[in-house]
Amino acid sequence: MDSRLSARALVELLGLWRTSEPAFDALADGIRLLCLDNRIAPETALPAERELAAALGVSRTTVAAAYRGLRATGHIVSRRGSGSVTRPLGRTAAARWFDHGGIDLQQASPPAWPGLPGVIAEVAGSATSLVSRSGYDILGHAELRAVIAARYTAQGIDTVPEQVMVTNGAQHALNLIAGTLLRRADRLLIETPTYPHAAETFRRVGSRLVGVPVDARHGWDLDRAVQAFSRTAPVLAYLMPQFQNPTGRWMTAEESEVIAHAAHDAGSVLLIDETTADLRIDGSVGPAPFRTGPWIRVGSLGKSVWGGLRIGWIRADGDLIRRLRAARTSHDLGTPDLEQAIATRVVARLDEILPQRSALLRAGRDTLTAALAAALPEWSVPEVHGGVALWVELGAPLSSALVMDATRHGLHLSAGPRFAVEGGHERHLRIPFTAEPRELARAVDILEESWRRVTDGNGLSAAGPRPTPAEALV
């Protein structure tokens, strides 16, 4: 059965959509962006033309023309009894709108560690022994779990291999945990903004998300967090305390202590996402948070080594690992042996790899920060000491409009609301610094031009809204 999106809900998602003429093209682009960002899920019935026209304050002809354009690019299809329904976006539909020769900054994934091909070649040399096995393992190879456990122990978190499960990346780990520990209508505390695929995972199992604000400059809203734990008693609290995605913020000792106590008092379990924890660039960020406690930890090699190496893990107490193992067969049958063999060698060399990643990310961050300061000084750019992106404050609620315009000129980003839990963040834009410095400089050039067009079209300037003639006389 198709889910249905009301006209009011679509208008809220669109925000300031009318950034170009003709209006039907701007409306179609706005809906395309929502589909590509997955803020409108596939198989969602859009509002009827007359209903949406009334809500937007435009003619029905404008909405009809926008829907025709969306059908032509494969984003929606007409169905008897449902009207216009969004489609899963394959390459053809996306390619008709996206310029794939442009700059893609939607994914904040660094390029592969340069030494990885050599490690893969070493593992390939032992292919005979690998293919003598079953080819996959539901819990994870003992060798890989041992090196992961040893790394945790070296960081002050005493861990044995029986407390580790190897997964097909961190996203797979989150899906497995959500499917095992959460039931429909269970409350889950989550940061906002946050990693959008995590939020989608928890919504998929029917969880009720309770957002706690986190800010790039001021950190976590502790008053809201304590109130949320006390008021809602969430089953789980999903946090990314080390170089939080997208803000880049590192949780302080005070913040982690307050949140840990609030979670304990509420009977909640902390689910700590550590996928960005190793991405330190420079500066002092304080001690690692949540070193003690019966918390669940999720890590991966996606950001620190390569996104194509689909290896992640769960670190938890032995009883939970056994529960997850029993539940996993309904999701998949295990992690491939070949990737585990590569990961075993890579994890053992992380102390060598991470300084190289730090240098790469530093070059990107410094290039992006300097270019933004020169080209768009009116934007507020936070100082970050690690992670993968800048969470930039634009000064006006134009994030979606800016992304739409930039997309038409070859730069692909995700708008601020993509990272929101309960709406908002139209004043923010996530800009990853994982691309090559030359591409980042080009990206800022496009952003500068797009920002001028978008602000001009919405009656804004670098200084804010333009005064009316009466205001100008005062």
> Is residue 213 reached through a cis peptide bond, with omega within 30 degrees of 0 on the bond before it?
no
Q: How many CB atoms lie within 10 A of CB 333?
A: 11
- Sequence ranges of the domains in the chain: 3-97, 104-110+353-465, 116-351
Q: 3.30.70.120, 1.10.1470.10, 3.90.1150.10, 3.40.640.10: which CATH number matches 116-351?
A: 3.40.640.10
Nearest Cα neighbor of 74 from 97, 44, 49, 52 is 97
Q: What is the pTM of this model?
A: 0.86
Residues 140 and 170: their CA atoms lie apart, in Å, by 14
With residues binned 3-state (H G I as helix, E B as strand, rest as coil), the percentages for the chain, rounded to 5, are 45, 15, 40
Q: 2.40.128.520, 1.10.760.10, 1.10.10.10, 3.40.50.720: which CATH number matches 3-97?
A: 1.10.10.10
pLDDT tens digit string along 338-349?
999 999 999 999
pLDDT tier for residue 88 given thresholds of 50, 70 and 90:
confident
Residues 205 and 183: their CA atoms lie apart, in Å, by 7
Q: Would you state the pLDDT for residue 461?
A: 59
Q: Would you state the pLDDT for residue 410?
A: 93
281: Cα separation from own chain's centroid: 20
Beta carbons within 8 Å of 374's beta carbon, 6+ residues apart = none
Burial class (CB in 10 A: 0-12, 13-18, 19+), 249: buried
pLDDT tens digit string along 272-282?
999 999 999 99
Contact criterion met (CB below 8 Å) for 116 and 306: yes
Residues 347 and 309: their CA atoms lie apart, in Å, by 12
Q: Would you state the pLDDT for residue 182?
A: 97
Contact criterion met (CB below 8 Å) for 46 and 52: yes
pLDDT of 205 higher than 90? yes
pLDDT tens digit string along 215-259?
999 999 999 999 999 999 999 999 999 999 999 999 999 999 999
Residues 4 and 84: their CA atoms lie apart, in Å, by 10
Q: The tokens of 170 are what? A: 């961190």
pLDDT tier for residue 2 given thresholds of 50, 70 and 90:
low
Q: The tokens of 354 are what? A: 């991470």
Q: Would you state the pLDDT for residue 127?
A: 82
Q: Would you state the pLDDT for residue 102?
A: 87
Domains 3-97 and 116-351 share a fold: no
pLDDT tens digit string along 23-69?
998 899 889 988 887 789 899 999 999 999 999 999 999 999 999 99
Output the CATH code of domain 104-110+353-465.
Answer: 3.90.1150.10
pLDDT tier for residue 474 given thresholds of 50, 70 and 90:
very low
Residues 144 and 347: their CA atoms lie apart, in Å, by 8
Residues 225 and 41: their CA atoms lie apart, in Å, by 29
Beta carbons within 8 Å of 407's beta carbon, 6+ residues apart = 29, 33, 97, 98, 99, 413
- Average pLDDT over every residue of 106-114: 93
Pairing of strands 3-4, 44-45: parallel
